[in-house]
Chain A
Amino acid sequence: MLERLDSIYENDSFEIKGKPFYLPQGNEVELFEAAHENKLPVMLKGPTGSGKTRLIEYMAWKLGRPLYTVACHDGLSGNDLTGRYIIKGDEVEWIDGPLLMAVKNGGIVYLDEIVEARKDTTVVIHPLTDYRRYLMVEKLGKIFYAPDEFMLVISYNPGYQSILKELKPSTRQRFVSIDFGWPNEDLETQIVQQETGIEAETARMLVKAANKIRNLVQQGLEEGASTRELVYAGTLLKSGVPMKEALSSTLIEPLTHDSDLKRSIEEILKNYFTM
Chain B
Amino acid sequence: MVGNSIKRIRGERKIRNLLRDDYEGAVLERFVSDLYPLLDSVGFDGLEEVVGLRNQIARYSGKTAVRVLDESPELIARLLTYGDKNLVMAVYGLCRQVAQDTIFVAARLLEESPDLVDRLFMQGDKDQVMAVYGLCSEVARDSWRIAARLLGMSPELIARVGYENLEKIAGLCSQVAEDHPAVAARLLELSPELIAKVGYEGFEEVAGLARQVAKEHRDVAVSLIEMSPELLDRVGYENLEKIAALSCRVATYSWKTAAQLLGTSPELIDRVGYEYLERVADFSIQVAQKDSFVAARLLELSPELIDRVGYECLEKIADLSSQVNEDDGFIAAKLLDESPDLIMELLRYGDDKELVTSVYDLCCQIAEDYNWRTAVRLLTESPDLFKRLHEYGDKELVKAVFGLCTQVAEYSGITAVSLFEESPAIIGRVGIDGLEKIAAQATELATLGEGRATSFVRGESTEFAAFIEANTHGLELRKVKPVLAHYLNALLGYRIELAEAEESSTDGTRIFLPERIQEFKEEERNFTLYKVMATHEEAHLEYGSFDFELTKAPDVAGMIRAKYGYGGDT
Which A residues have a C-beta under 8 Å from some C-beta of B? Answer: 212-213, 215-216, 219-220, 260-261, 263-265, 267-268, 271
Contacts and interface: CB of A to CB of B under 8 A. Distances in A.
Contacts of B495: 219
Contacts of B535: 271
Contact of A260 (B482, B490, B492, B494): B482
Q: Closest 5 interchain pairs by CB?
A: A264-B486, A260-B482, A264-B487, A215-B493, A263-B483
Contact of B491 (A212, A219, A260, A263): A212
Most buried by A among B486, B495, B531, B535: B486
Contacts of A213: 490
Most buried by B among A215, A216, A220, A267: A267
B524 to A, nearest CB: 11
Contacts of A271: 535
A215 B493 CA distance: 5
Contact of A212 (B482, B490, B494, B531): B490
A105 B116 CA distance: 150
B489 interface: yes
A265 B493 CA distance: 14
Nearest to A261: B486
Contact of A268 (B482, B491, B494): B491
Contacts of A215: 489-494
B487 A267 contact: yes
17 contacts: A212-B490, A212-B491, A213-B490, A215-B490, A215-B492, A216-B486, A219-B489, A219-B495, A260-B483, A261-B486, A263-B483, A265-B486, A265-B490, A268-B487, A268-B490, A268-B491, A271-B535
Contacts of B483: 260, 263-264, 267
Contacts of B493: 215
A220 B483 CA distance: 11
B513 to A, nearest CB: 15
Nearest to B527: A267
Interface of B: 482-484, 486-487, 489-495, 531, 535
Contacts of B484: 264
B543 to A, nearest CB: 15
Contacts of A267: 483, 487, 531
B25 to A, nearest CB: 118
Contacts of B489: 215-216, 219
A220 B490 CA distance: 11
B534 to A, nearest CB: 10
Given A213-B490, A260-B483, 10 more contacts: A212-B490, A215-B489, A216-B489, A219-B495, A220-B486, A260-B486, A264-B487, A264-B490, A267-B483, A271-B535
A261 B487 CA distance: 8
Contacts of A260: 482-483, 486
Most buried by A among B487, B489, B490, B531: B490
Nearest to B481: A260
Nearest to B535: A271
Contacts, number: 35
A210 to B, nearest CB: 11
Contacts of B482: 260
B419 to A, nearest CB: 35
Nearest to B484: A264
A272 to B, nearest CB: 12
Nearest to B494: A215
Contacts of A264: 483-484, 486-487, 490
Contacts of A261: 486
A24 B490 CA distance: 27
Nearest to B491: A212
Contacts of A216: 486, 489-490
Contacts of A265: 486, 490
A271 B542 CA distance: 15
B227 to A, nearest CB: 78
Contacts of B492: 215
Contacts of B494: 215
A260 B487 CA distance: 10
A40 B33 CA distance: 152
B323 to A, nearest CB: 54
A271 B487 CA distance: 11
B536 to A, nearest CB: 13
Contacts of A219: 486, 489, 495
B140 to A, nearest CB: 102
Nearest to A220: B486
A115 to B, nearest CB: 29
A213 B531 CA distance: 16
A267 B535 CA distance: 11
Contacts of A220: 486
Nearest to B531: A267
Nearest to B489: A219
A267 B528 CA distance: 9
B481 to A, nearest CB: 9
A231 B89 CA distance: 136
A264 B534 CA distance: 13
A209 to B, nearest CB: 9
Contacts of B531: 267
Nearest to A209: B490
A65 B489 CA distance: 45
A252 B221 CA distance: 94
A164 B151 CA distance: 120
A268 B486 CA distance: 10
Nearest to A264: B486
B538 to A, nearest CB: 11
Contacts of B486: 216, 219-220, 260-261, 264-265
Nearest to A271: B535
Contacts of A212: 490-491
A216 B489 CA distance: 7
A268 B535 CA distance: 10
A212 B486 CA distance: 11
A36 B489 CA distance: 42
A123 B126 CA distance: 149
A260 B489 CA distance: 13
Nearest to A267: B487
A216 B488 CA distance: 10
A2 to B, nearest CB: 52
A70 to B, nearest CB: 36
A257 to B, nearest CB: 14
B526 to A, nearest CB: 14
A246 B475 CA distance: 29
B216 to A, nearest CB: 82
B482 to A, nearest CB: 4
A260 B484 CA distance: 9
A275 to B, nearest CB: 12
Nearest to B488: A264
B487 to A, nearest CB: 5
A212 B491 CA distance: 6
A147 B489 CA distance: 51
A260 B491 CA distance: 16
A215 B494 CA distance: 7
A216 to B, nearest CB: 5
A253 to B, nearest CB: 16
Contacts of B490: 212-213, 215-216, 264-265, 268
A220 B492 CA distance: 15
Nearest to A268: B490
A182 to B, nearest CB: 13
A265 B484 CA distance: 10
Nearest to A256: B486
B517 to A, nearest CB: 16
Contacts of B491: 212, 215, 268
